[in-house]
Structure 1
Amino acid sequence: MIEILLLTVALAVAFGNGANDNFKGFATVWGSETLPYRRALALATGATVAGSLASIWLAHGLIARFSGIGLVPPATAGSAHFLLSVAVGAAVTVALATRLGLPVSTTHALIGGLIGAGLGQAGGVVHLSPLVHSFVAPLLVSPLVAAALGALAGRMLKRPDPQADCACVVAPASAVVVAASGGGAALAPPALPHLVVAAPAECDGLDTTVRVSVSRTLDRAHVASAASICFARGVNDTPKLTALLLAAHALDASVSVAAIGGVMGIGGLLFARRVAETMSRRVTRIGHRDGLGANLVTAALVLFASKLGMPVSTTHVAVGSITGIGAAGGTLDRAALRNILLSWVATLPLAAVVAYAAAPLASAIF
């Protein structure tokens, strides 16, 4: 009976995770009106589920980190009562934040759940020292690194002339006859093809072999970068939730990953709108180039952390990169950012309190 309840609550965490996190990669895409909401949501969901499935090969190290081993005694870490308390703490916290439209970290909620459940189930025996290097340091440093890189990317991607939307390769000129010394004539070598970036009207008068729109190319790259973030988030978050199922021997690894990924997708499709509004419209105004820079920073950091087994928060990294862009451009909404930061501060202790309260109830009922 408790295994079934654990499976249900763990999937509820995945559902809330999808509702809170799935759209974050496409926040800048919708905010810059590159794509309408429904189309952006569909792409975000597909990329997230694909990342979830890929996590089997790319991020197996995170499963061990979120099993509770090292924080509590091994016997407690494998207890269904302990894992149920962890899942309840995380599920309640993420669901509340999603209802309020606040983008929080499921990673923080799970860590809070591990601490609270450990205090409630293991007689207060929780080894917090592993948290410093394995959990706290990456979670604290990652948004700061993302903000710095986001500001740098924003400056690098700024376009000097907004009207220069045409990039074209100008055809080489034919060989021409030129005067030579001594009164003779000679053939001058033809010029080489060269790249010109100018206003479309200026490109119209050139003999071009290749011509592309800079803005349309950047839009495509922006969407691709958003999909890469959702893919990276699926890779990074799925193992954390899968650990709840594997530690209790509820399902095998492949089935657990597929179940978590599918439920995350459904949660995003149904309830992503509130957090999407906050990320896309309230933190800052972001243009197409800025959004591309922020997304590339987020995707690179999350994938790099996943490969190293570092439990960074996609939320923290994404908000950090967007904040860096907004701060560099002077368009940051400090009030909205303050609310998000306060929700981050509250996530871990709230999850810990709920998990601590759920621990004796789980032991008493089952």
Structure 2
Amino acid sequence: MSLPPEKPVNQWKTLDKDLKRIGRLEEATAFVSRPLVAPGIALAFIIFVGLLSAALMGAQPVSFVVVAAAAIGAYMALNIGANDVANNMGPAVGANALTLGGALIIAAVFETAGALVAGGDVVKTVAKGIIDPAQMATSAQFVWAMMSALLAAALWLNLATWLGAPVSTTHSIVGGVVGAGIVAAGFGAVDWGGLGAIAASWVISPVLGGVIAAAFLALIKAKIVYVDDKIAAARKWVPILIGIMAGAFAAYLALKGLKHLIKITLVQAIVIGVVAGFASWLFSKPMIARQSRGLENRKKSLKTLFSVPLVVSAALLSFAHGANDVANAVGPLAAIVHTVEAGDVADKVTIPLWVMLTGALGISVGLLLFGPKLIRMVGSQITKLNPMRAYCVALSAAITVIVASWLGLPVSSTHIAVGGIFGVGFFREWHAERRAQLLGLKKGKVVPPEERSRRLLVRRSHMLTVAAAWVITVPASAGLAALLYIVLTAVVL
């Protein structure tokens, strides 16, 4: 009688168990460490900039001040990329005209190009004349005031990004300079008239952006969406809208970007815009005619005609933003570098190339590492966007800047873009309720209040968060800068 064959013995059973445990441990470690990758890369960038500045400054005894300022400037640039750039790319992503990855790449390229090509080689008195440097008793006070302002603005932007609130980097740095300047030189050093104009822009710029965006959406609905032959209407009106967009952006870039290269007046910028708009209208007419062939006569078909112009507008907004807002990071840094090297305070300082590169690359790195959170919030969590609505937001941003420049008002691109999104959302609510009431009257029905409340198309919670962040930006950054100045001067001076 033969015995049954013995089961093979697994000589590696214990090793297999150990390897499985190690594998699970590696998976758990990778999962836990993933959130730390972006902060790690950001820290490496800040350290790299600090080491680079130390190498460029040489063996000067006060070079540690520049190293610290360079690191803080890099930190500020990272936060500008994480927070501010979302307003340019959010609508295009929310409208599905761009993927998140594509938006990040386009924004990084055009932000860097705008900063380097048209970022300027001269910066006026830091924070646009809010504080008079001559009021400072010593150049050391000015240096530490600028450093406190820069660090305070960066910390506030970091907190706002973590909370998911898009705030103005310009207002953050202005608040920081005001707070540190008051502690360093007293209330008399502050240009309260300029600060009052900035405060007025808190209300004027988002309201103006919202009204203009809503007006263009109303035009699109009246002239294209709610007509019998939508395709024929689109062939007529979409080239006109593209011409308006091209003209507005040409004037916008002339005012916000090219002004650093050549002196351009508002009238000259408008002339440039008119010429560019007319040329774009002529060019886009046959293009839209080709794109519209074979499209079905329905609203969904119209969205494809707005996708490419929307992507172009987002790229142009990023270029202008890089040209304009890079100064928020490198302006104070350039002032510190000049003061340390020359030993005196100047109203105008030349920005070294390495300082400009710090701002340009910092904005792009911050966008790639931390930008997706606010891009999603701006693009899809305030109100639902499609290419037509997002196009109205981008168009209103350019036009509002031109109008504000004509009125002499300092405005924030953040406030304008977010205001445009809210304007589009509130117009949709008003239009939907109006159509529901008209339909109810025709059918003899009355829409009950509880049904109307369910039709809200703008998230009120985000509106309250954004409004609160806007209101407290200048006071918060000013208070933080004042505290940092007291601490830094107590330790160093």
Counterparts in 2 of 1:328 and 1:221: CA distance versus 1, 3 Å: same
Q: Residue 130 of structure 1 is aligned with which of 187, 190, 193? A: 193
Q: Residue 272 of structure 1 is aligned with which of 361, 368, 371? A: 371
Report whether the alignment pairs 1:108 with 2:202.
no
Structure 2 residue ranges without an equivalent (≥5) = 1-63, 237-285, 342-349, 430-456
Report whether the alignment pairs 1:152 with 2:225.
no
Aligned to 1:218: 306
Aligned to 1:8: 71
Contact 1:70 1:130 in 2 (8 A): no
Aligned-residue CA RMSD (Å): 3.2
Contact 1:164 1:200 in 2 (8 A): no
Counterparts in 2 of 1:20 and 1:303: CA distance versus 1, 3 Å: farther
Contact 1:228 1:299 in 2 (8 A): no
Distance 1:301 1:51 in 2: 20
Q: Secondary structure at the match of 2:71?
A: helix
| Aligned pairs for 1:1-366 within 5 A | 1-57=64-120, 65-66=127-128, 68-70=130-132, 73-75=135-137, 79-132=142-195, 134-158=197-221, 159-161=225-227, 164-165=230-231, 200=294, 214-249=302-337, 252-255=350-353, 256-302=355-401, 311-330=410-429, 331-366=457-492
Q: Secondary structure at the match of 1:238?
A: helix
Counterparts in 2 of 1:55 and 1:41: CA distance versus 1, 3 Å: same
Give the number of the structure whose residues are more often strand, by fraction.
Answer: 1
Worse-matched range after superposition: 151-160 or 317-326:
151-160
Q: Secondary structure at the match of 1:219?
A: helix
Counterparts in 2 of 1:312 and 1:152: CA distance versus 1, 3 Å: same
Distance 1:60 1:308 in 2: 24
Write the letter of the residue equivalent to 1:35.
L
Distance 1:168 1:73 in 2: 60
- Compute the displacement of 1:120 (Å): 2.2
Give the number of the structure whose residues are more often helix, by fraction.
Answer: 2
Q: Deviations over 1:246-285 (max 9, x none)?
A: 2112594152222211111110010012211210121111
Contact 1:85 1:355 in 2 (8 A): yes
- Compute the displacement of 1:157 (Å): 2.0
Distance 2:82 2:109 in 1: 14
Distance 1:201 1:95 in 2: 46
Worse-matched range after superposition: 136-145 or 88-97:
136-145
How many residues of Structure 1 are paired with residues of Structure 2 in the alignment? 332
Write the letter of the residue equivalent to 1:318.
A
Distance 1:76 1:214 in 2: 62
Structure 1 residue ranges without an equivalent (≥5) = 170-192, 204-212
Distance 1:156 1:76 in 2: 57
Distance 1:13 1:75 in 2: 27
Contact 2:127 2:177 in 1 (8 A): no
- Compute the displacement of 1:160 (Å): 2.1
Contact 2:122 2:351 in 1 (8 A): no
Write the letter of the residue equivalent to 1:94.
L
Write the letter of the residue equivalent to 2:466.
I
- Compute the displacement of 1:132 (Å): 3.9
Write the letter of the residue equivalent to 1:334.
R
TM-score, scaled to structure 1: 0.80
- Compute the displacement of 1:66 (Å): 3.6
Worse-matched range after superposition: 92-101 or 239-248:
239-248
Off by >6 Å, runs of 4+ in structure 1: 166-169, 195-199, 306-309
TM-score, scaled to structure 2: 0.61
Contact 1:297 1:321 in 2 (8 A): yes
Q: Secondary structure at the match of 2:119?
A: helix
Write the letter of the residue equivalent to 1:22.
V
